Amino acid sequence: MTDTKTLPQTPATQSPDVLIVGGGIVGLWCAARASDLGLKTFLVEKGRLGQGASGGFLGALMPHQPVSWTSEKQYQLEALLALESEVAALQDLTGIDCGYLRCGRIIPTQTEKKRAERIEWREAAKQNWPAVSPNGLPLAWNLSETPPAGDWLYPEHAPLGFEHDTLAARVAPRKLVAALHAKIKEKVEIREATEVVSLGDGSRVTLDDGTDLFPGKTIVSAGWGSFLLVANIAKTTLGRGVKGQAALLKPIRPFDPNAPIIYFGGLYIIAHENGLIAVGSTSENKFDSPSDTDHRLDDLVTRAKKLCPALEGAEVIERWAGVRPNAVGRHPMIGPLPQAPNIIMATGGFKISFGIAHKMASDALTFATGGKPQMPEMFELDYHFARAK
């Protein structure tokens, strides 16, 4: 890919076909795709792989509402369906169990208004979702008029029953990061504890140790750091970080690790197969420290304990915070920077990145190899630039 005639003579690693900036879930999938294509790939991560927003433990893979269908919803649906076999292949290759399960999601119904609305959702799911998942599980947005049985959700919180979407799934984020690392480590040059400090115009990229790289293409998958990194080139701010806090709890009683995700008013309760339950997340547009946790997380855990009997007496064994990349157009951002077409953005997945990162990576690599992927218009750079100040 690289036009060697116009580039300085450099060691091989200084002139990769593809340089990937940032080793979160998006950068790792990009590296996996690039190495599968046989491209000489260099991944630079300023800390450790998965140290950013991808280093948490929630891993909810939740579909958008099935109503008011858009190309973005279709994109996410296809990604969520494909992830099942992507993860299975990764597990086979690496031997790392990523804790993937199409566990579904339940949402307690507390008002007649919501119930009426959700009848519409049930019908929309029939229209917009396939009837079964790739491995044959029925996919639907079911409504139950009675409180749930069992000891996963206190019945008094679902006085009018509950909704049950069977498309939602969960994965163990840290395991998925580890599996992707295992897949790429023999084929991709990985440099951790190294920061990209300047992208130039894309033809010369500078690292914090002063090294210059001359990549064919550069994929910017640096999470919320992406926006600052390209601000000089874009001459605008293309997004921001939104902090989230989450807690990992160890229940004192046995519970079903296959239980569906509980989702209520921004609160997620996720049973994982390692016997732990994850609770999240706050959404903070303003924050001083990206990684500290505080009383907002305590409040979340208190709310979770009121909803879920399995959390009674459970001990919080980890408190964690990360910052999600939120692109200015409020949709993922994938594609070349108009001012520097050798630089390809792949970021902005915000709250749904784990479910779509593999598809974002395929699209970023299609751009990197000179193609134009089929992608929702609102993911394109023009869409985001039109919304930037």
Tell me the C-alpha to C-alpha distance, in Å, between residue 204 and each of 197, 219, 340: 11, 13, 11
Stretch that binds ligand FAD, among 53-61, 115-123, 142-150, 305-313 (CB under 6 A): 53-61
Closest residue to ligand FAD: CB criterion: 24
Count of residues binding ligand FAD (CB under 6 A)?
Answer: 42
The Cβ of residue 207 has, within 10 Å, a number of other Cβ atoms equal to 17
CA separation (Å) from 276 to 102, 152, 246?
17, 14, 13
Stretch that binds ligand FAD, among 20-28, 69-77, 84-92, 232-240 (CB under 6 A): 20-28
Write out the binding residues for ligand FAD, residues 172-201 only, by CB under 6 A. Answer: 195-196
Q: Is the dihedral of CA 75, 125, 264, 170 positive or negative?
A: negative
Residue type, 115: R
| Strand 212-213 to 217-220 pairing | unpaired
State yes or no: residue 118 binds ligand FAD (CB under 6 A).
no
Q: Report CA 159 to chain centroid distance, whole Å.
A: 33
213 binds ligand FAD (CB under 6 A): no
- Is 283 in contact with 292 (CB distance < 8 Å)? no
How many angstroms separate the CA atoms of 98 and 101, rounded? Answer: 9
CB of 192 to ligand FAD, least distance (A): 9
Binding status of residue 329 toward ligand FAD by CB under 6 A:
no
User: How far does Cα 57 stand from its chain's mean position?
Assistant: 12
Tell me if 239 contacts ligand FAD by CB under 6 A.
no
- Between 152 and 350, whose beta carbon lies closer to ligand FAD? 350
Which of 28, 30, 29 lies closest to 18, judged by CA?
A: 30
How far apart CA 387 and CA 95 sit, in angstroms, is 44
Q: Could you say which residues in the range 264-323 bind ligand FAD, by CB under 6 A?
A: 280-281, 322
| Residue 283: CB minimum distance to ligand FAD, A | 9
Q: Is residue 213 helix, strand or coil? A: strand
26 scored as a contact of ligand FAD (CB under 6 A): yes
We find the least distance from the C-beta atom of residue 378 to ligand FAD, in angstroms, to be: 17
- Lookup result for tokens 């990684």: 291
41 contacts ligand FAD (rule: CB under 6 A): no
Runs of H (alpha helix) within 25-136: 25-36, 71-94, 112-128
Cβ proximity to ligand FAD: between 161 and 327 the closer is 327
Q: Is 215 in the site for ligand FAD (CB under 6 A)?
A: no
Q: Tell me the closest approach of the beta carbon of residue 238 to ligand FAD, in angstroms.
A: 13
Q: Is 27 in the site for ligand FAD (CB under 6 A)?
A: yes
Q: Which of 41, 54, 109, 362 touches ligand FAD (CB under 6 A)?
A: 54
161 or 321, CB closer to ligand FAD?
A: 321
Selection from 271, 267, 245 nearest residue 53 by Cα: 245
Is 104 a binder of ligand FAD (CB under 6 A)?
Answer: no
Task: Give 151 or 298: the residue with its C-beta nearer to ligand FAD.
Answer: 298
* Choice from 40, 105, 175, 324 touching ligand FAD (CB under 6 A): 324
The least distance separating ligand FAD from the CB of residue 145, rounded to whole angstroms, comes to: 28
Q: In the chain, how many H helices and how many E strands?
A: 9, 19
Q: CA 185, CA 182: separation in Å to the nearest integer? A: 6
- Shortest spacing between CB 48 and ligand FAD, in angstroms: 7
Query: Minimum Å distance from CB 152 to ligand FAD?
Result: 18
List Cβ neighbours of 234 (8 Å cut-off, separation of 6 or more). 337, 339, 385, 388
Which residue stretch of 5-13, 17-25, 306-314, 335-343 sits at the interface with ligand FAD (rule: CB under 6 A)? 17-25
- Dist. CA 306–CA 51, nearest whole Å: 31
Residue 355 found at the interface with ligand FAD (CB under 6 A)? yes
Site membership for ligand FAD, residue 21 (CB under 6 A)? yes
Read off the tokens for 175: 């395991």
How far from each other are the two terminal CA atoms of the chain, in whole angstroms? 35
- Residues at the contact surface with ligand FAD, assessed by CB under 6 A: 21-27, 44-47, 51-54, 56, 58-60, 195-196, 221-223, 225, 229, 244-246, 280-281, 322, 324-325, 347, 349-355
